[in-house]
Chains A and B, each alone.
Chain A
């Protein structure tokens, strides 16, 4: 079959120095469904965003239908027949489905008026032929997510796309909707269109694709024919461990249960079930890790555990006391420490000085707040100095604004603050995200130290290396639930990869 498109030697380096793609070759044939597989940060979305014109490549070449193509914007991509359905839909919730489709199109008008009639006719014909039923007059915000996705696809087809890229399409679908999507994709294939299916879900990739390309850490691992491979092999390619850091870990001596979660369920504002009944315990003196590709409910779980979101049902016991749905300051008083996943949005107030940030969450308590709520600057300074010395924070003055610290030092301040509280348990969410090597090592050693001092640590991270290296016990989270809880030192890469893709390991192989 002729090649629909071909990308050669794609390199992408961001302005802050991050290397997202290290020279990747990727192509797809017409009339095939080609899977693009990899973990978080492997580069799949980045690669496709380059094809779609949302991101510019640093180096490389793209050919579409054999001809060299320069794609500088989504407009250019669409003109070449390339369309992409992103994880976050490019839809306007307040508009109707019909209006979303015709937005920006020059052809949908009669003079200055919107020609909704012609557009409607065309769309209804398209709906009939494709089998993608959408209520054109409904407002997008009223449509269920699965239908919104159909609309996105419809949009692409209305514009004549014949290369269709779907980024993690099944993450928002129910199993029935997944089946419907798959039969639709097969009909596209029958029409000779090309589909790129980005996913981390092994079972689905095996079910629907003709070929699979696996990326890992910005590099191409291999492209294989789906029929000639297995889930296990793919899992190994996807996860293939290069252990970059080695940390010596003492054997853990777990003590009492400090955190106990039973059947926790969380619903988001649209009614979607993001956490579907999670139960686990964390003991003092152990690190309990939660691994998994982002977007499987980890963020919502953490926010529920730390008092930042409402819990739908279930119980959370901290030190034996029920704390679900209590506000953060109550949890802190009960011995919770939280290193949040977004240090700029949650963990720090960037315009505040380092001094003031070091007491965030503690500013209403002794010894910082005295009579009549007056703050004690001496105590605050003492506390801050302790953080600086105990945690090697590199800062010129405690009155410098937090924005002037590097990411690593900011994280050290947060960790220092949280750990010096002498908590029962530290909940650390993506603690080394965006940090350089030295800071990363340091933060990880801090977590180990907490654990060796008898505290409980709940580590949530999308970095599999990190979680397997640090955890004593580990859960893999997939679609709002724990696939399994395992001992990371005793589980194989292959099984891990499978669990990441949602498949619980079979009986010992």
Chain B
């Protein structure tokens, strides 16, 4: 490293705990997402400005809308956190869908069929969920270490297996005898109370935020967290530093899966109190989490902010459909926000565009 480079690097590394580079990159990704999205909207013959207005109104327009937005943060915050924890160990846990389904399963079964006093009931459900999800994810981690199976393939397979397991049990075991399309409603002792009746916002969001903060603490303030991050950045130096690399990787997967499972459990306990037998209530929350994590730069605090943004896309997107509809023509579907989300991910997944462009031009000059 030359003298100037060292100086420049020192300047960049100046203490300021907001990582401006990362915020800029995420911001850039979001802007590109909206630009491209706006382009697609315009191509489809709609007015992008209307879209954005509808989005904002739908997300914050009324106290009720705002509370809905906040409540949507809960599951994607946790699935995002799940991806981020594994990513810190340089593992790609795309299996948050399946791990989340395990949480749904635990909540729908223990919540409905096991009677426990309130307080204890919720804790048991959360605990069992965490174990189930953790176990599935750890299995994928173990397969990678012992048999070289890439975790992307194994976790995706487990997603589908989890999905089928959930729907099978939902239809045949947990079903509501009076209404075949759903599982038995969970007992009141298993629910998480709503903040205000009439909205979908329950205290589950508080639990989710607490989990995020706990994970932040875990990653940066404990030996285990240190080890996980070290292994993700430099396995050979980690080995030198006395860290058992394989064991740490499996542990990271375990925690990652457990957190994703919590997302599923809380959706049942906090919002729906049952799940439909096709599990459509909870579909895609896992994948949404990946977008949240990427934009949140795999940092628990960034994920809280990022999840708010994506929740806004969701609630706003629903309103947009109405906003942009005219006589004889349906409005922009709420899935538009999905496409925007996808574009954002593609941009967010191009790591550090700035640094790469620099590298590229440097290489050309040589």
Contact = CB atoms under 8 A, between A and B. Distances in A.
Secondary structure dominating the interface of A: loop
Nearest to A356: B226
Contacts of B62: none
B361 to A, nearest CB: 15
Nearest to A338: B240
A349 B223 contact: no
Interface of B: 1-2, 6, 9-10, 12-15, 221-224, 226-227, 229-230, 233-234, 236-242, 244, 366
A361 B2 contact: no
A369 B234 CA distance: 21
A347 B240 contact: yes
A344 to B, nearest CB: 8
Given A364-B242, A397-B14, A349 B237 contact: yes
A361 B240 contact: yes
Nearest to A407: B1
Contacts of A15: 366
B226 A350 contact: no
A364 B227 CA distance: 9
Given A15-B366, A363-B226, A328 B13 contact: no
Given A349-B230, A374-B221, A399-B15, A308 B10 contact: no
A406 interface: yes
A345 interface: yes
A371 B330 CA distance: 60
Q: Among the interface residues A349, A360, A400, which one has the most CB atoms of the partner chain B within 10 A?
A: A349
A361 B223 CA distance: 11
A397 B237 CA distance: 22
A270 B221 CA distance: 41
A15 B1 CA distance: 10
Contacts, number: 91
A373 B223 CA distance: 5
B222 A372 contact: yes
A63 interface: no
Q: Among the interface residues B12, B226, B240, B244, which one has the most CB atoms of the partner chain A within 10 A?
A: B240
Given A350-B234, A363-B223, A375-B221, A329 B242 contact: yes
Nearest to A343: B237
A254 interface: no
Contact of B240 (A340, A374, A400): A340
Nearest to B231: A349
A361 B221 CA distance: 16
* 10 closest Cβ pairs, A-B complex: A329-B242, A404-B9, A360-B241, A373-B223, A400-B13, A346-B240, A361-B241, A404-B13, A349-B234, A369-B223
B10 A404 contact: yes
A351 B226 contact: no
Interface in A398-426: 399-401, 403-407
A375 B218 CA distance: 10
Given A346-B240, A360-B237, A406-B1, A375 B9 contact: no
A352 B1 contact: no
B125 to A, nearest CB: 24
B242 A327 contact: yes
B351 to A, nearest CB: 13
B7 to A, nearest CB: 9
Given A16-B2, A375-B221, A361 B15 contact: no
17 contacts: A328-B242, A329-B242, A340-B240, A345-B237, A346-B236, A347-B240, A349-B234, A349-B238, A350-B233, A360-B230, A363-B223, A363-B227, A364-B242, A373-B223, A374-B223, A400-B13, A406-B6
A445 to B, nearest CB: 23
Nearest to A396: B10
Contacts of A372: 222
Contacts of A163: none
Nearest to B217: A374
A332 interface: yes
A311 interface: no
A75 to B, nearest CB: 19
Interface in A318-345: 327-329, 332, 338, 340, 345
B223 A400 contact: no
Contacts of B12: 404
Interface in A6-61: 15-17
A120 to B, nearest CB: 35
Given A351-B233, A406-B1, A328 B239 contact: yes
B365 to A, nearest CB: 10
B241 A345 contact: no
A328 B237 CA distance: 11
B242 A375 contact: no
Nearest to A348: B237
A332 B243 CA distance: 12
Contact of A375 (B6, B222, B244, B366): B222
Q: Among the interface residues A306, A348, A351, A404, which one has the most CB atoms of the partner chain B within 10 A?
A: A404
Contacts of A338: 240
A210 B94 CA distance: 65
